[in-house]
A and B are shown apart, each in its own frame.
Chain A
Amino acid sequence: MRLRRRRRENQRLMPIKNQKDPARGVFTRRALLFMAVQTGTLGVLAHKLYQLQVKDGDRYARMAASNRVSKRYLAPPRGRIVDRYGIALANNKENWRALLLPEETTDVAGTIERFSTIIPLDDRDRTRIAREMRHQRRFVPVMLRDFLSWDEMARIELNAPSLPGVLIDVGTRRVYPEGELLAHIIGYVAPPNERDVAHSALLALPGMRVGRSGVEQSQDEKLRGTAGSVEMEVNSVGRVMSELNRVEGAPGTEIGLTIDRGLQQKVLARIGEQTASAVVMDCRNGEVLAMVSTPSFDPSLFDSGVSHAQWIEWTNNERTPLINKAVAGVYPPGSTFKPAVAMAGLESGLFSPTDRVFCPGHLDVGGTRFHCWSRWGHGSVDLHQALKFSCDVYFYEMARRVGMDRIAETAHKFGLGTELDIELPHTRTGLIPTPTWRQAHHHHWNGGDTIVSGIGQGFVQVTPLQLATYTSRLATGRAVQPHLVRALNSEVGPEATPDHWPTLDMPDKYLAALRGGMFAVVNEQHGTAPKARLSLPGITMAGKTGSAQVRRVSRALRESGHFNSANLPWEYRPHALFICFAPYDDPRYAVSVVIEHGNTGADAAAPLARDIMTDTLMRDPVNHVTPPPESVADATDTE
C-alpha cells in the first residue's frame, strides 16, 4: 500500500499543485520562474557575447594586433678606422658589464650593497643606478658597472649565489689601440646628448656613440651605419615574447686613412717632449701621411667618461693637449712666409729674380726702423740670396712696394689663411691681414703693418697644415688639397699625379726660382739651414726656416747687444718653424714643422724636419728606398 502511494508520488516529480503540501506547489512554481529567469539571463549574455565576438569581431581583432606588436631598433656596430696599410686605429671591443635584473632579486638594495663590497661603486654610479631603477620596469636590466676586467668578472661569478639577479653581459666599447699617437686625428666618441637624440632617433639606442672630435666626428654619419629593426610580440607590460620579423642593419663603413701609423710613431718619437706640431704630406696627391700634435691625450678616457679633475687638468694646461695644433694651432709663419711674398713680388712685375736690394741691417720707413735679423746686414742681395740668407730687409722692401693686397692674394692661392678640405672638425683658417680686414675692425692699416707682414710677422697667422699645403703647392705648382680619408676621395688614389689638381697659374720660372732659393737654404754654403741637409744618397731637400717672435723686442734690448732669445722664459721665446719638400728635383713629400717657443727654426725645427723627411723617404714603397718592414722597425725600437 505504502509502496504504491510512493510510486504515484514518484510520477509527480514536479508538483505544481499539491493538495497535501501547498508549500511544495508554491515552491515548484517559483522555482520554475527562477529557472526561466536563469535561462533568459544567460540567453541575453549569450546574445551580448555574439555581438562582441562575431559582429564586432574584426574591429577588436585589429585592436588586438596593435596591442601586441612592438618595433625596436638594433644598434649597428660602428665602423673601424684603419691606417693606409689597414692597421686598426679605432676598433670595437667587447665591453663586459654587470647588470641587475630587479625582478629576480627580492632585496634590490641589499644586492647592490653586496655587489659594492665586491666591485666598488662610486657616488656617480649609485645615483645613476637609482635613477634608472625608478624609470624602468622591473624586467629591464639596470647597468651596475661596465668595463669590467677579467679579474672583476671572476669575483662576481664567485659570489654569484649571494648576488641574485646580477648578470654579466657584453656590449661594445670603442678602443683606440694607438692611444695618444693618433688621438687628435681619430678623435673620440662619447654617449649622445639630448640634442643628438632629437636629431636622429638611431642615437637613442643603448650603446650608440657620437664622434666628438677628429675623424670620428667628421665621418660620424658613415661610421654610424644604419639601424636594423626587429618586430617583436610583446605582452601587456612590454616583455618580449617572440620575434616576428628582423631587418638586419648595416654596420658602419670602415674608414681608411692616408696616415701611415709607422711614420706617425717615428715623428712622435722624434718630437719627444717638445710642444710641437708636424705634418707630412704627399705633395702630389695631398695625402697626409703623418700629422702630429704634442702633447696628446688618451682618447679612450672619453668613452667611459672623463673625470672632472682630468678635464680641468687638460683645459688649464698651457700646452693645450686637447687641441690639434696641426689644424687648430695658429702661428705667425715668420720667414717661411717669404717665398709667398716673393711670388707676389714676381707676379706683380715690379720685381724680377735678379733685381737687387741693399741690406744695411735695417730699413727706415716713415720714422720707424725695421731691423734685419742680422745686425750687420747682408749687403746687396738678389732673390736667390735673399731666400738663402733669409734677408729681412729684402722682403720689407718687397712688401712695401708690392702692397698687402697682392701678398694676401698670392698667400691665399698657396692655401695660407684659407679653409682646407681636410676631414677634421674644429679647424682654424688663420689670417692673412689686409687693409680691408683691418678697417672692418675699425683700425687704421699702417704702412708698417705691410712691412712686418713681409717677413710673416704682425697679424699673419697660419696653421701647420696650411704650411704643408703651401709647401706642396710651391713644389708642384698645383692647388693640392690635403686629405686624410682615402675611401672617400677614391679618385685621388695613392698614384695620383699633380695633374689631378688645378694649376696655380704661376709662371714656372718663378716657381723654379723660389725652389732654387729654398734649395740654397739647405744645401748651399751660408744657407740658414745647413742642419737640414739630408744624408741620403742622391736625394736632396729644399726648405725654408722661420722664427716667429711672439713678443716685440724693444729697441734698447736689441741695441744692448746682449739680446739672446734663448735666455727668455719659455713662453716668450720665438716659435721655431721649418717647411721643406723632397726630393728637390722631383718633389714627392712636403713637411712642415712648428715647435712652440722652439727659439730658432734653423736650430730646432730644421733638424727635426730633416729627420722626419728622412724617415718618410725611407718608408716610401714607391721610391723603393729600403721600405722597412714593421718587424724591423719594432726591433730597432726595442734595442
Chain B
Amino acid sequence: MKLIKTFAILIVIVAVFGGAMFALNFYTGPIIEANNAGAANARLDAVMPDGAKAYEDITATLTLPEKFVSPANDKRTAEIVAVHKETKNDFGYVVEVAWTSEDTHGSEPNLVLVGISTDGKIINVNNEGYHDTDAYNIFNKDPKYTSTFIGKDSALADVGTVSGSTHSSESFRSAVSFSFEVLVSNNMITAGVKSDAQILEELIPTVTKGYGKLAEATASGNIVKALKAENETGFAYIVTEGDASFLAIVNATGACAVYNVEGADVTADKAAIVTEAKAHAAANQTNYTQVLTDKLGKLMEGAASITNIEVKTFNTVASAVTFTAENTTYYAFLSRSIGWDSRVMNIYYIIDGNGAIVKTDADQYVFEEHDFKEYGGFLGLPENYREGFVGITGDTFTGNEVIISAATMSSNAIKAATEDIFAAFDSVKGGAQ
C-alpha cells in the first residue's frame, strides 16, 4: 500500500512537471533547434563572411569531378567530399576537399574547407584534420599561409608554398585549386584566367624532377623571370618572344628544353630562346664537373680521358662525364638529391657501358649526419649498403633495395637519385653522344 501510494505520488509529480516542460518546449524548442543547427554549421561559418547564414548540402545535385592526382607525384591527390550552398544571404559556396601528399600518414586524408563567393573569389580557407608529418606542419611553420589564399580566384596567382614543407603545401595548394573545379564544371562560377607566366610556372614540376623549392634569381633581357633549383641542378626561365611566353629549362650539364603554354616541346623551333637561356645559366650555374672529377679519382683508380657530357634529362643530375679505366669506357654521374630537412646529398655513380652500376658513394648520406640521430634515432648505414647497388641496372632497379625504414625521406631521395642517373644514362646512350 505504502509502495503504491509512493509510486502514485511520483507519477503525479512526473506528470505535472512533464506537462510543464511540454508546454515550455513549444517556446524553447525552436530556439534550441536553431542553436543546434548553428553549432553544426560553425565549421562552415568559419570560411564564410560574418552574418546570419543557412546552408544547403547540394553535393548530390552536382556532377563531381574525378579525383585529382598530381602529375608531379601520384601520392598528391584531391577529392571533392561535399559542397554546401549558403542560402540565406547568397554568400557563395563551401567546398570540402580531402587531400593527401606523399607525407600523409594513416588511412585518413586531410580535409580543407574553401569558402568561395558567387563571383569566384576565395572568402576564406580552413584546414581540419591534418595527417601529414607533424614536424613539417605547414600551418605551424607559417600560420599566415591560409590568408594568402583570401581574395584569389581559381588561378591562385602569387600563392606560393611554405618553405621547408614543399610536399604538403604544394598538395594543399592543389586541393584549394581543385575546389574551384566542381563549381566551374557545374557552371556555378566563372573560372579565373591564369596568366601565361602562371601557366608556364605551373608546368615546371611536370617537366622537371627533384628541383625542390625554386628560388627567384636575377632576370635579364627577354627572360622575365628566372628560377633556380633548390639543389642547384638547373634553372627555369619564363621568356617572352613577341606577345608569346615560353618556359625554358636549362640543367646543370648545359642542356636546354623549351615549352609553350600548351606544354608542347618547341625546343627545335626556338633557337634564340635556347641561346639566351643557356647563356644566363652558364653565367649563374655552379659547375659541378670538378667536384665529380675529384671524386672519380678516389672512386676508381686509373680513370683517364675524362670528358664532360651533356644529358638531356632535367632532374637531380648535376654533372656527367665519360672516362676510361683499364681499356673500358665508363660513365660517371653526380646527383644532388634533396633528403630530410631539405639537405642536399652529393651522390656519385659509376656505370659501365651496359648500364649496370659499378660503384656508388656519397659525400655524406643525410642519415649519417650527427643531428639526424636526434630526429630519427638512426645513425649510420646498414652493412654493405653501397655494395648493394653494384650490378643494378635501370631495368632491374625496383627502388626497394635502397629504402631504409628509419630514414624514408632520405632513402627515397637516394632512390630518386638512382632513377635519375639511369634516366640520364638512357638519354646519353639513346642520343647523339
- A, B assembled together: no
